[in-house]
Amino acid sequence: MDFVKNRKVIFFAVFLLFIVFGVALFLNQTSENNNQNGKNGINIDNGDTKINWSKYSTTDISLKESINITESGVYNLTGEIEDGSVIIDVGDTNGVVKLVLSGVSVNSENGPAIYIKSADDVIIETKEGTRNYLISGSSFGDFGEETVDGTIYSKGDLTFSGDGYLYVESNYQDAIVSKDDLTIRSGEISVSSVDDGIRGKDSVNISGGKIGIKAKQDGIKSTNDEDKTKGFIYIEDGEITISVADDGIHATTSLVIDGGKIDVQKSYEGLEGAKIVVNGGDISIIANDDGMNVAGGNDESAFMRPGSESFSENVEYTLVINGGSVYVDSTGDGLDSNGTIYINGGDVVVDGPINSANGALDSEKGIYFNGGSVVAVGASGMAENFNDSSSSFGASIFLDTSYAKDTKISVVDENDNVIVSHLSTKSFSHINIGSEKFEFGKTYTIYINDEEYESFTISSIVTSIGNSNIGPQGGGMQPQGGGMTPQGGPRGF
């Protein structure tokens, strides 16, 4: 009997152990899923932070003519080069260089002002209180098999730091280029370019600093479309101002924004990527076409643009907004995805198109509203409702007339508490409103220019007001419901 009892005790103990292990595994997975901050799935290169600079020699150089740096170390630079370059050639494997710019001016008529021919890691640090200028001419010489196309050009990892000022001007192709990973940690950087502003082939990582870009093509871009783990842009913090002719920010794979302030003052399309995830930050976009565009969007404009570019096919085409503040003023679609759109949190405002060929919100596979706040105004012809598999309530309002810009829109509850309020910047005939404050069965009132327009009661996930001529959801191509997609959707990577 004792043997049988012992076997039962052992069996019960093992059974409990399996249960505890299973619960722990589940809670850990749930925690990961609910706390994704956008870093999951992308590999941030922080190799520069692991370098022990104290073991390298420090050299002071007063610039007068071109210099060649062939040994790893720290180089404090002052002075001016009227026509020449700072060339770094220390080897691709273990070569590391820190350039400390302390009042430097380099003008290069036929090549990069700083040419990093070979190095594993290079840090360009601007000394606090100094102003530094790097300018390239309108044509580059012959660099053999290598395509050298930046005022600052690096074949290896490139990092910017410090608390000084750096001005980079390109009169031939791009301003700042890394063929590997490009990181900006701090400092003030102003860029003027006849082509792209800042380009990191494998990735761009911005964790601080103040960045201003004026460019005749893209502002910030990452272009590796051969490796699904590369070609991404990660913005953690910093203040970024962009005025460009093409994309404000373009990632071939994923664009992830965790924080910072991003002000795209002029663009053809504001933010582009095969996948866009916004977890935080303050984002403002003015676009001549789409404001946020995932994988080319749901219209023909992607093929008729100034610099149409490819996207990785190894990424699920998705626009996800988990938090932060997003404002879009677009001539084309406001938020546009060639896949799905998930709005799980944050405050989203769109002043969308005035023409019926575009919509304030536009997707191929549905828009899922699961939290936060959305006000999207625009033309009614291509207006798309939230998918009724969303987990928070929304209202789709088709107005009986078109209203002019500077029209005030408000929605209040039964106690006159304001749910949403917006002052339009252009004319509109449709309003999409989503709010986690909406409650089923409660009645709300729409005010336009402080005059009561209509009251409505939340009777389903999407309550429609007014007469609609639009088709079903998903860019007018799919039936409502989208029942195959679980409520909540992805909340990051």
pLDDT tens, 324-376?
A: 999 999 999 999 999 999 999 999 999 999 999 999 999 999 999 999 999 99
Higher pLDDT, 401 or 43: 401
Q: Does the structure show a pLDDT above 60 at 10?
A: no
Separation CA 385–CA 431 (nearest Å): 10
pLDDT band at 484, cuts 50/70/90? very low
pLDDT of residue 45: 80
Q: Does the structure show a pLDDT above 80 at 309?
A: no
pLDDT of residue 17: 47
In a domain, 275, yes or no: no
Burial 24-55 (b: 16+ CB within 10 A, else e): eeeeeeeeeeeebbbeebbeebeebeebeeee
pLDDT of residue 310: 61
Backbone angles phi, psi at 455, to 5 degrees: -105, 150
In a domain, 134, yes or no: yes
Note down the domain range covering 143.
Answer: 50-195
The number of domains in the chain is 1
DSSP string, 350-404: EE--SSTTS-SEEESS-EEE-SSEEEEEE-STT--PPPTT-SS-EEEEEEEEEE-
Per-residue CA distances from 374 to 123, 219, 281, 288, 394 (Å): 41, 27, 16, 21, 9
In a domain, 339, yes or no: no
In a domain, 151, yes or no: yes
pLDDT band at 27, cuts 50/70/90? very low
Please report, rounded to a whole number, the percentage of residues in the chain having pLDDT higher than 90: 77
Separation CA 233–CA 42 (nearest Å): 9
In a domain, 77, yes or no: yes
Q: Give the number of C-alpha atoms closer than 13 A to the C-alpha of residue 196, restricted to the C-beta side.
A: 22
pTM, whole model, 2 decimals? 0.87
pLDDT tens string 199-241 = 999 999 999 999 999 999 999 999 998 888 999 999 999 999 9
Mean pLDDT of the chain: 87
In a domain, 270, yes or no: no
Mean pLDDT to the nearest integer, 376-400: 96
pLDDT of residue 308: 56
Residues near 479 by Cβ (< 8 Å), separated by ≥ 6?
A: 472, 473
pLDDT band at 9, cuts 50/70/90? very low
Residue with tokens 């679609």: 333
In a domain, 271, yes or no: no
Mean pLDDT to the nearest integer, 171-193: 97
Q: Does the structure show a pLDDT above 70 at 115?
A: yes
Q: Does the structure show a pLDDT above 60 at 166?
A: yes
pLDDT band at 487, cuts 50/70/90? very low
In a domain, 448, yes or no: no
Q: Which range among 26-35, 51-60, 79-88, 127-136 shows the weakest confidence by mean pLDDT?
A: 26-35
Per-residue CA distances from 304 to 308, 337, 450 (Å): 7, 17, 41
